Amino acid sequence: MELNDANLQTLTEFLRKTLDPDPTVRRPAEKFLESVEGNQNYPLLLLTLLEKSQDNVIRVCAAVTFKNYIKRNWRIVEDEPNKISDADRTAIKANIVNLMLSSPEQIQKQLSDAISIIGREDFPQKWPDLLTEMVTRFRSGDFHIINGVLRTAHSLFKRYRHEFKSNELWTEIKLVLGTFALPLTELFKATIELCQTHANDVNALKVLFSSLTLISKLFYSLNFQDLPEFFEDNMETWMTNFHGLLTLDNKLLQTDDEEEAGLLELLKSQICDNAALYAQKYDEEFQPYLPRFVTAIWNLLVSTGQEVKYDLLVSNAIQFLASVCERPHYKHLFEDQNTLTSICEKVIVPNMEFRSADEEAFEDNSEEYIRRDLEGSDIDTRRRAACDLVRGLCKFFEGPVTAIFSGYVNSMLSEYAKNPGLNWKHKDAATYLVTSLASKAQTQKHGITQANELVNLTEFFVNHILPDLQSSNVNEFPVLKADAIKYVMIFRSKLPKEQLLQAVPLLITHLQAESTVQHTYAAHALERLFTMRGPNNATLITSAEMAPFTEQLLTNLFKALTLPGSAENEYIMKAIMRSFSLLQEAIVPYIPTLIGQLTHKLLLVSKNPSKPHFNHYLFESLCLSVRITCKANPVTVSSFEEALFPVFTEILQNDVQEFLPYVFQVMSLLLEIHSNSIPASYMALFPHLLQPVLWERTGNIPPLVRLLQAFLEKGGASIAASAADKIPGLLGVFQKLIASKANDHQGFYLLNSIIENMPPESITQYRKQIFILLFQRLQSSKTTKFIKSFLVFINLYCVKYGAIALQEIFDSIQPKMFGMVLEKIIIPEVQKVSGTVEKKICAVGITKILTECPAMMDTEYTKLWTPLLQALIGLFELPEDDSIPDDEHFIDIEDTPGYQTAFSQLAFAGRKEHDPIGDAVGNPKILLAQSLHKLSTACPGRVPSMLNTSLNAEALKFLQGYLQVASVQLV
């Protein structure tokens, strides 16, 4: 693609179409962009547009498209073509920093992200001048540019907070500190001076405070791994200024907004984080500064209001106190009973209250509420921070703290009892205290003992929780009902089974509640109860115990999906999956109606898949329906196909990428249930499965290979008869897979199925080429995984076509090749083969080579006979060799670049392990004994003499054992 006006114009038109709400316009435009993104100059055209286009919407769209393009393609993946030309890479790196700094903020953010993605791969080795180029911009004095640099630096360095320690990381951080630490400190001091100069200019202060917040974030990232010498030497500068900023209260920066945190709050929150980092990690060096930070942060907590905008600040400030009170050094600061009472009264209890903002979230933003409350993404909530502080205090002061809170719990509950309608929030706070304190003791046992239960859990359940669950009006006091359900869920392993069984029908009733949080919690609690294990690893609650409630359970779960806000509720769908799994054949009578509802739901979500977990559990539920019903009655598979195929066809035609791997797995499951023939509806699909575009996406590979295996298993002969022209396509797929280190094992799965199930004559003409391809791959990159698969394949070939055929095909490629393979691959490497079926295939194959291949007895190959036998006995008797060469440790990790859908394995679509040898060979050791006996009768005297002269004594002893068990002798 040339850099010219015509191409810029075309690109502009297609970008505009990608914003169109109509999918018939949008989809083709997205497909077009996908098809041209491999062309040289494509990224440079995008950069030109975002710099020069007159239309602001197009500029932003080009910036987002560019960032996503970089995200998908910049990383160079081994074995895959480089998706961005070197010339483009150089041009991008030469221009992007300047472009980013001169762009408006919306575009600046996108380019800043792109720089950090490139930096993650290329900095510092392939982009050494990035930092110097950025640091020189600090001198510009223009804070739009300076903030652009700081933002980019932040996105580059924030990974230091969670990277594992390594020499490379240290070297990189050292290099960064050498270039960046001093200019950053100078900038910090200069910015603080400017804040004083412009103390009355609100617009200047806004820019300066956003710089200070970014500088504070960079301070955190650069100090996270270890305390750098530079920062230790300059601690006075940083800490004095941080302390000054914490106590600063500039009226101009206060906002009227109650929801959104202002610049002052964001800066102070980050400073609390920085102080907590030093208090936790570098307490010795930080000790001189600690008391003044404790005082400042305490004053901040006592004087800060309950508004939502202060949540992050308050939670970070409390987390600071929590990290300090856990350290033995600082224990003395908290010892006084008055201090403890004051902390509990002024900090902990007020921040555990259920505020009107929480109530709003509960009602109007249930998804976010559930994410925070159930999934623990409540890191920055006041409640969570208050809990952490209590746990921290309990480390040294468990007795007094427990006493203080027991008093609070009792007084809150008695307040509630006086007037439930008015005082329900008191009960909520009491239940929250009990669940948060006691549950932390059982799930995260860090320094807190089980004795930290404020109340007797069973009594509390009977007296305070059960009444809420049993209430006749499910929609009254939804917050308390949700608390009660959560209580059952959290303490499920502590409560006796009869109480759990008492709760199950009540939870089923709560599935009908109008409140999204309430019916979601009910579904989640049921799902968790159904996974609990009892004695002998069976489920604690059995299908029989669920019998009285089965119909109600299924009805209410499916009804819950029709409630407002829960059309794609992943917790309900997971509960459906788990119920199917628990109830097994008890669901068969309901499946005819339920399968209709599931397929209808699938059709709806396939139009715009947005909830990956929901979709996953939906497909799992479909698999369970098929499995359970067809287990009882295999002929019902056709009614499932009638229900599912129309939806599947639509998904395949619209190329719904997220769903293809799932569809292939369900189709494999259905096809595997058929007796030995392929229905016409599947055969029509077969040619489409070989299209190269499907194999480009890594997520499709495992399920597609399995589906092709199912085709071969059920109808290898009919493919050879009616679709022989497709065999080259099938082998083309094998060739593509075998070339990739990540997917070569999938190529072997396919190849093994071809060898096992296709009529021999249908692939005769291709056999030699298959072996040549495998040898080319062995020469270019020989990995342990490849060798293991290669060994299984050649032995399967030997089992299927005979040892003579194997020897002849090797020697036809190159004279004496068979001996080289035995000597260099089979004998030294067979010990690495893992898996029962794989070992059995190798054992039977090697036995055939030893006893059914004349060339082994009377040519130059004879010298390999005993070492090969020794290797086989080793495979039987020695532990598996699982050593991997150093340079190969990370090969199998699937690094899916960018946005491609990774493969999601459906647990309930699992394939039974297949043994190609089956019952023909029960015990390979006995087969070896019988085959050696047969060989020795054909050439008397030869076998014992070969054994006695060169087989090691231990191996000989094992072999005599096999002969005895098989009751045969060698002659």
Confidence band of 451 (pLDDT split at 50, 70, 90): very low
The answer to whether residue 403 scores a pLDDT higher than 90 is no
Q: Given pLDDT bands bounded at 50, 70 and 90, which one contains residue 442? A: very low
The predicted pLDDT at position 902 comes to 56
Per-residue pLDDT tens over the stretch 860-869? 899 999 999 9
Nearest residue to 486 via CA among 468, 463, 471? 468
Q: Is 41 helix (H, G, I), strand (E, B) or coil?
A: coil
Q: Exposed e or buried b for every residue in 543-570, given b needs 16+ CB within 10 A?
A: eeebeebbeebbbbbbebbebeebebbb
In the predicted structure, residue 894 carries a pLDDT above the cut 60: no
For the chain, give the percent of residues with pLDDT over 70: 96
Average pLDDT over residues 816-837: 95
* 556-585 pLDDT tens trace: 999 999 999 999 999 999 999 999 999 999
Q: What is the DSSP string of 925-955?
A: HHHHHHHHHHHHHHSTTHHHHHHHHHS-HHH
Q: Supply the pLDDT for residue 377.
A: 65
In this prediction, what percent of the chain has a pLDDT beyond 90? 76
Find the angle CA(673)-CA(679)-CA(684) to the nearest 5 degrees.
125
End residue of a domain, out of 67, 86, 105: 86
Residue 379, pLDDT > 80, answer no
Statement: residue 445 has pLDDT above 70 = no
Tell me whether residue 77 is in a domain.
Answer: yes
Domain boundary pick from 62, 86, 110: 86
Report pLDDT digits (tens) over 680-724. 999 999 999 999 989 988 899 999 999 999 999 999 999 999 888
Residue 443 has pLDDT above 60, yes or no: no
Residue type, 799: V
pLDDT tens-digit readout, 185-205: 999 999 999 999 999 999 999
pLDDT attached to residue 270: 97
Query: pLDDT at position 623, please?
Result: 96
Instruction: State the Cα–Cα distance between residues 757 and 754, nearest whole angstrom.
Output: 5
Checking if the pLDDT of 629 tops 90, the result is yes
Each residue of 716-745: pLDDT tens digit?
Answer: 999 999 888 999 999 999 999 999 988 999
Establish if 38 belongs to a structural domain.
yes
Q: What is the mean pLDDT of residues 143-152?
A: 94
pLDDT grade for 447, boundaries at 50, 70 and 90: very low
Among residues 22, 55, 86, which one ends one of the domains?
Answer: 86
CA dihedral 689, 681, 668, 755 (to 10 degrees): -60
What pLDDT, on the 0 to 100 scale, is given for residue 914? 87
Query: Span 311-335, mean pLDDT?
Result: 90
DSSP state letters, 63-88: HHHHHHHHHHHSSPPTTS--SS-HHH
- pLDDT above 90 (res 208): yes
Q: Please tell me the predicted confidence (pLDDT) of residue 331.
A: 87
Confidence band (pLDDT; 50, 70, 90) for 880? confident
Question: Is residue 786 assigned to a domain?
Answer: no
User: Which residue in 749, 850, 760 sits closest to 803, CA to CA?
Assistant: 850
Residue 689 is classified by DSSP as G
Segment 892-921 shows an average pLDDT of 68
The domain containing residue 44 runs over which residues? Answer: 1-86
Beta bridge partners of 539: 533
pLDDT of the residue at 594: 96
Residues in the chain, overall count: 971
In this model, does residue 660 exceed pLDDT 50? yes
227 belongs to a structural domain: no
Mean pLDDT, the chain, integer: 91
Global pTM value: 0.83
What is the mean predicted confidence (pLDDT) over 416-439? 88
What pLDDT does 49 receive?
Answer: 94
Task: Decide if 763 contacts 805 (C-beta within 8 A).
Answer: no
Lowest-pLDDT range, 227-236, 323-332, 549-558, 879-888?
879-888
Q: What is the pLDDT of residue 736?
A: 94
Which pLDDT belongs to residue 858?
Answer: 83
Residue at 568 is within a domain: no
Q: What is the mean pLDDT of residues 275-300?
A: 93
Query: Average pLDDT of 830-842?
Result: 94
911 within domain boundaries: no
Q: How many CA atoms lie within 13 A of 451 on its CB side?
A: 9
Cis check: omega of the bond before 124, within 30 degrees of 0: yes
Number of structural domains, the chain? Answer: 2
60 or 391, higher pLDDT: 60
Whether 821 is covered by a domain: the verdict is no
Say what the alpha-carbon torsion angle 411, 415, 420, 426 is, to the nearest 10 degrees: -60
- Within a domain: 817: no
Q: How far apart are CA 501 and CA 869, in angstroms?
A: 60
| pLDDT level of residue 296 (50, 70, 90 thresholds) | very high
